[in-house]
Amino acid sequence: MNRTRVVGILGGMGPAAGADFARLFVQACADRMRVLQIPVSDQAFPEHWLAQVPVPDRSTALESPGLGGHQPLEPMLQAMGKLAALGATAVAVACNTAHAWHGALQERFPQLEVLHVAREVAHTLAGRGVKEVGLLATAGTYRAGLYDQALRQAGLQCHIPEPEERERLMHGIYHGVKVGNMALAHDCFAGVAEALARRHGLSTLVLGCTEIPLALGAQRVVAGLDGLDLIDPALLLARALARRAYATAA
């Protein structure tokens, strides 16, 4: 009856974002069933496992690659191995910055597909005819050029905030979302988003850190951000994972 494939979610970076990704995935599965005309029931969802494991800070590791660049990789490899043992055929990593290690994860586990969040976003936006976007992300994601590269390959231009604005985003992530101060986080993110969009005349912003939509994207109307299309990469990644889970059920 249930012809879906087992999939995995590598989370814990942070744990709130991982749990939110599981919610988005469940919603994406229900949407997928409606498209495939499969009646929605508990038993029609694919088996999926959320691994929430402690992983050293990704941005810090990317700032000092000599000292700690390998540190986040080891626990991610261990959790990925356990997801593979559980039968996962595809895994989504619920953290943008962690995709700096995407190549190493995919190379070690050739038997499963490790989805790439920036490539999924670039592919989707190119399909919608978008030509340029602004990117809100962590220092680590900017440094690794994750979105730059994926967007450029898909023919899109990527604008990033000024250095002091990037620091303000990090402040909102670490002193806001990660410790539960959503009001502070919202102030930081909305201020930078508005300035970036106005400076370049943008209508599309990519919220390229899983923590940012938790404070900004949840409330669909953000003061001063009316008319802006806020792209939540986690949402697109969740939909991509649901497509993999139902690939054999169509």
Of residues 47-106, which lie at the interface with a copy of itself (CB under 8 A)?
A: 47-57, 82, 86
The least distance separating a copy of itself from the CB of residue 33, rounded to whole angstroms, comes to: 10
CA distance 209 to 141: 8
Q: How far apart are CA 23 and CA 217, in angstroms?
A: 15
Whole-angstrom distance, CA of residue 116 vs CA of residue 114: 7
Task: Kindly state the smallest distance separating residue 43's Cβ from a copy of itself, in Å.
Answer: 5
Q: Is the N-terminal amide bond of 14 cis, ω within 30° of 0? A: yes
Half-sphere exposure in the Cβ direction for 123 (13 Å, CA): 10
| Minimal distance, residue 156 CB to a copy of itself, in Å | 30
C-alpha 23/C-alpha 79 separation (Å) is 20
Candidate ranges 34-42, 134-142, 192-200, 225-233; the one touching a copy of itself (CB under 8 A): 34-42
Q: Which of 35, 36, 40, 218 binds a copy of itself (CB under 8 A)?
A: 40
Among 28, 32, 38, 45, binds a copy of itself (CB under 8 A): 45
- When binding is defined by CB under 8 A, the residue of 35, 36, 67, 179 that contacts a copy of itself is 179
DSSP annotation of 92 = E
Q: Which is closer to a copy of itself, CB of 53 or CB of 195? A: 53
Query: CA-to-CA distance for 94 and 214, rounded, in angstroms?
Result: 13
Contact residue for a copy of itself among 5, 123, 166, 178 (CB under 8 A) = 178
Kindly tell me which residue out of 35, 36, 41, 248 binds a copy of itself, with binding defined by CB under 8 A.
41
Please give the C-alpha separations between residue 104 and each of 157, 192, 193, 211, 247, in angstroms, as whole numbers.
27, 32, 32, 24, 25
Nearer to a copy of itself by C-beta: 59 or 150? 59
Q: Which runs of E-coded beta strand occur in the chain? A: 7-11, 48-52, 90-93, 113-114, 132-136, 157-159, 204-207, 229-231
Burial class (CB in 10 A: 0-12, 13-18, 19+), 32: buried
Q: Between residues 1 and 223, which has the closer beta carbon with respect to a copy of itself?
A: 1
Shortest distance, CB of residue 44 to a copy of itself, whole angstroms? 8
Q: Does 182 bind a copy of itself (CB under 8 A)?
A: no
Which residues are at the interface with a copy of itself (CB under 8 A)?
A: 2, 12-16, 18-20, 22-23, 25-27, 29-30, 40-45, 47-57, 82, 86, 178-180
